[in-house]
Amino acid sequence: GRTQTMPLAVYLALESDPEAAIALSLVLLVVSVVILAVLRDRWLRAGSTA
């Protein structure tokens, strides 16, 4: 029953398993880029109708 955020998981993995920390970092990066791309499209469509 303990919650762990992704940045904390990366930090803890870095101490014991650097390869796992890199993999978690890449997952976090991909999720961030996808979210920004979706929001960018939404912002551009909202800006063009104003």
Residue-wise burial string across 17-36, b where 16 or more C-beta atoms lie within 10 A, e elsewhere: eeeebeebbeeeeeeeeeee
What pLDDT tens digit does each residue of the chain (50 aa) get?
Answer: 788 899 999 999 999 999 999 999 999 999 999 999 999 888 888 777 65
How far is residue 47's CA from residue 10's CA, in Å, rounded to a whole number? Answer: 36
In the chain, what are the domain boundaries? 18-48
pLDDT at 49: 67
How far is residue 41's CA from residue 17's CA, in Å, rounded to a whole number? Answer: 37
DSSP structure string for 22-43: HHHHHHHHHHHHHHHHHHHHHH
